[in-house]
Structure 1
Amino acid sequence: MARLGSFRRAADELFVTQAAVTSRIQALEEWLGFEVFLRHRRGADLSPQGQRFIDYARNAIDMIEHGREEARRAKTYRAHYRFMGQFLLLEGFSLDWVDWMKANAPEVSLTLDSSFSTFAAKEISSGLLDLAVGYQYKTVSGVVFEPLFTERLILVTSFANAEDWRNNYIPIGWDEEFDDDQRRFIGELEDSYRIRAHFIDAARAILLRESASAYVVERSAEPLLKKKQIKRVEEAPVFERPAYVIYPSNPTHPDVQALALSGLREVTKKLGLANT
Structure 2
Amino acid sequence: MDIEFARTFLAVTAAGNFVGAAAKLHITQSTVSARIKTLEQQLGTALFRRGRGGAALTAAGRRFLRHAKIMVRTYEQARHDVGLSSGFSAGLTLQGRSALWDGFLPLWVHWMRQSAPDISLRLEIGFEEGIMQGMVQGDIDIGVMYTPQSRPAIAAEYIFGESLVLMTSSRERKWQDSSYLHIDWGPEFLAQFAARFPDVDTSAQRVNIGWLAMQLINNYGGSAYLPLRLVRHLIQSQQLFPVEDSPLITLPVYMVYPLDRQEAHITTAIKGLRELGAEEDQRHSLDDLSTVS
Q: TM-score, normalised by structure 2?
A: 0.68
Alpha-carbon distance, 1:120 to partner: 1.4
The number of equivalent residue pairs is: 227
1:235 aligned residue? 245
Q: How many angstroms does 1:79 deviate by?
A: 1.0
Cα contact 1:169–1:193 (8 A) shared by 2: no
Q: Is residue 2:272 matched to residue 1:263?
A: yes
Question: Separation in 2 of the partners of 1:230 and 1:54?
Answer: 54
Distance verdict in 2 for CA 1:218–1:246, change over 3 Å: same
1:218-255 superposed Cα distances (whole Å, 9 cap, x missing partner): 1111122122111100211111110001111111x522
Determine which structure has more spread, i.e. the larger CA radius of gyration. Answer: 1
2:151 to 140, 153, 156: 140
Counterpart residue identity of residue 31, structure 2: G
Q: CA deviation at 1:132?
A: 1.9
Q: Which residue of 1 aligns with 2:125?
A: 114
* Mapped partners of 1:188, 1:179: distance in 2: 14
- 1:160 Cα deviation (Å)? 4.3
Matched, 1:196 2:206: yes
> Does 2:199 match 1:218?
no
CA distance in 2, matches of 1:137, 1:61: 21
1:99-144 CA-to-partner distances (Å, cap 9, x unmatched) read 1111111221111111113321211221111112111221122211
CA distance in 1, matches of 2:226, 2:260: 35
Equivalent pair of 2:147/2:187 in contact (CA under 8 Å): no
Q: State, as a whole percentage, how many aligned pairs show the same letter.
A: 24
Instruction: Find the aligned partners of 1:204 and 1:113 in 2 and give their Cα distance.
Output: 21
Equivalent-residue separation in structure 1 for 2:122 and 2:213 (angstroms): 28
The whole-number CA distance in structure 2 between the counterparts of 1:70 and 1:198 is: 34
> C-alpha distance in 1, partners of 2:140/2:218?
35
CA deviation map 1:26-59 (0-9, x unaligned): xxxxxxxxxxxxxxxxxxxx76522546899xx9
CA contact (8 A) 1:146 1:244 kept: yes
2:31 to 20, 25, 50: 50
Match of 1:205 in 2: 215
Residues 246 and 237 (structure 1 numbering): CA distance in 2 closer, same or farther, change over 3 Å? same
How large is the RMSD of aligned CA atoms in angstroms? 3.0
Q: Provide the C-alpha distance between the structure 1 equivalents of 2:260 and 2:85, rounded to a whole number of angstroms.
A: 21
- Counterpart CA distance in 1 for 2:34 and 2:185 is 32
CA distance in 2, matches of 1:262, 1:198: 29
Match in the other structure for 2:192: 181
List structure 1 runs of 4+ shifted beyond 4 angstroms: 51-56, 59-66, 273-276
Distance across 1 between alignment mates of 2:205 and 2:229: 23
CA distance in 2, matches of 1:181, 1:187: 10
- Deviation per CA, 1:65-107: give whole Å up to 9, x if none: 6533321216332111111121111131111111111111122
Against the structure 1 CA distance between its residues 65 and 269, is the aligned structure 2 distance closer, same or farther, given a 3 Å change threshold? closer
Consecutive unaligned residues of structure 2, counting only runs of 5 or more, are: 1-26, 39-68, 287-293
